[in-house]
A and B are shown apart, each in its own frame.
Chain A
Amino acid sequence: MLGLADDDKLRGLLAEVGRGDAAALARFYDLTSPKLFGVILRIQRDRGLAEDVLQDAYLRVWQAAGSYDPAAGRPLPWLCAIARNRAIDSLRRRGATEVQRPAEDDSEDWVARLMDPHDDATAFMDRDALSTCLNRLEPMHRDCVVLAYCEGYSREELAQRFDRPVNTIKTWLHRALAALKSCLETVS
């Protein structure tokens, strides 16, 4: 996975992409596409559609690289935000009912994996704070947040999975997000 050491390289490439350098975009793609495709594929399970989303995300990078502000954050989260938005748009446009999800989805797993310091240590502080705060949430509320963020669950899909009315899910999400925010402010 890409660590902080690669950030400077990615920033440099983004600057070149911003000047219209297609070869720089190709290098940027080679470095980041496996991570990005992983993120997209968790949300958009249809491989063909996920590949469309991937291409679309890099086209957006091509257009927006000039406006990427290194002060606004690390390049990889910036890129992931673009990809997640595209992936979720592709789901929501198709409506909530068609998504096929494998049975082994387990949000518990994500929180556990969050704790695993497998790559760069610099992001670990953030990750540590987030997993601490996620673990303080009501388990079902936390699962809603993680399933929505990592797997693209809609409110309706969460309602179905937890067998609750959609309005209850909305309330859970709002409570969980508000609690998460105030916890992150004190922990980090």
Chain B
Amino acid sequence: MSGGGGEPAPDPDLRAAEYVLGTLDASERAEMDRAIAVDPGTASRVRAWERRLAPLLDAIPPASPAPRVRAALLRSLPGAVPAEPDQLAALRRQVRRWRIVSAGAGLLAAGLALFVGVGLRPGQEGGRYLAVVQGGGTLPALIVRVDTRTGTAQVRPVGAETPEGRALELWYVGAGGPKSIGLVEAASSRVALPAGASPDGAIAVSVEPPGGSPTGQPTGPVIYSGKLIPE
């Protein structure tokens, strides 16, 4: 016990060790979480301690979780919609989650979907909007230019990667749910927007069987997304 006075600043390495050990209190842990996100030195000290202590976990016996956990997990994946009758509700839930995720995007090293968070001014006279559609990578997947006056969109692939044997399908997600606007082609293409498409929507890309979704709704995981912003 050190006698009175202010405690000396904690040694950063011991702090990292205690973080990994789990003996920091909630506020100290939150402080460390922030430091890990912004400071590579803290992150690497924490990783080093994780490596040092991890062999202790070998001794812990496995345990079986209830099967419902697996089912609930797969249902809850943002971006992956399993065969479920109500695809539309699922995608709406997903869009809500994206919004939540994007609010905390600074803390996420790689979010599934990063929105381009620029305020929308609907009814802008130009009628031209842009969506930078991206996933977790550094390059955007697609750039989509929407012209609400002509009801068309120009789709320019940039870094979109199509999984082998699958197709990427483009969706316009508005208040009425997702509407297909065609498949992502290798080259730039012009597609027609669904009737009544308004600028307060988003563009999403899902993985589908070759030829596109058989149901008219997204059936595979949504891997890219982006919000329309006025040009």
- Identify the A interface with B (CB < 8 A): 1, 18-22, 25-26, 29-30, 33-35, 37-39, 41-43, 50-51, 54-55, 58-59, 62-64, 66-67, 72-73, 77, 80-81, 84, 88-89, 92-93, 110, 113-114, 116, 118-119, 123, 126-127, 130-131, 145-146, 148-150, 152-155, 158, 165, 167-168, 171, 173-174, 177-178, 180-181, 184
Assess A93 versus B65: contact at CB under 8 Å? Given A42-B60, A177-B17: no
Q: Are A180 and B52 in contact (CB under 8 A)?
A: yes
Convert B3-36 into 0s and 1s, putting 1 for each residue whose CB lies closer than 8 angstroms to a CB of A: 0000000010110011011111110010000000
Q: Are B112 and A62 in contact (CB under 8 A)?
A: yes
Question: How distant is A14 from chain B, measured CB to nearest CB, in Å?
Answer: 12
Q: Are A154 and B25 in contact (CB under 8 A)?
A: yes
Q: Are A25 and B23 in contact (CB under 8 A)?
A: no
Question: How distant is A156 from chain B, measured CB to nearest CB, in Å?
Answer: 9
Assess A130 versus B56: contact at CB under 8 Å? Given A25-B77, A59-B76: yes
B1: nearest chain-A partner, CB-CB: A167
Residue B214 is within 8 A (CB to CB) of chain A in the complex: no
Assess A1 versus B58: contact at CB under 8 Å? Given A18-B136, A154-B23, A178-B14: yes
Q: Are A19 and B61 in contact (CB under 8 A)?
A: no
Q: Are A51 and B52 in contact (CB under 8 A)?
A: no
Q: What are 22 residue pairs bridging A and B, where the CB atoms are less than 8 Å apart in the complex?
A: A22-B80, A22-B221, A25-B74, A25-B80, A38-B63, A42-B60, A55-B73, A59-B73, A59-B76, A62-B77, A62-B78, A64-B110, A77-B51, A77-B57, A88-B22, A114-B55, A114-B56, A114-B59, A165-B1, A168-B1, A174-B14, A184-B52
Q: What chain A residues lie within 8 Å of B24 (beta carbons)?
A: 92
Residue B69 is within 8 A (CB to CB) of chain A in the complex: yes
Q: Are B111 and A63 in contact (CB under 8 A)?
A: yes
Question: How distant is B85 from chain A, measured CB to nearest CB, in Å?
Answer: 17
Q: What chain B residues lie within 8 Å of A130 (beta carbons)?
A: 52-53, 55-56
Among A20, A66, A114, A153, chain B packs the most CB atoms within 10 A around the CB of: A20
Assess A77 versus B50: contact at CB under 8 Å? Given A22-B221, A126-B55: yes
Q: Are B77 and A73 in contact (CB under 8 A)?
A: no
Kindly state the separation between the CA atoms of A50 and B66 in the bound complex, as whole angstroms.
Answer: 11
Q: What chain A residues lie within 8 Å of B60 (beta carbons)?
A: 35, 38-39, 42, 150
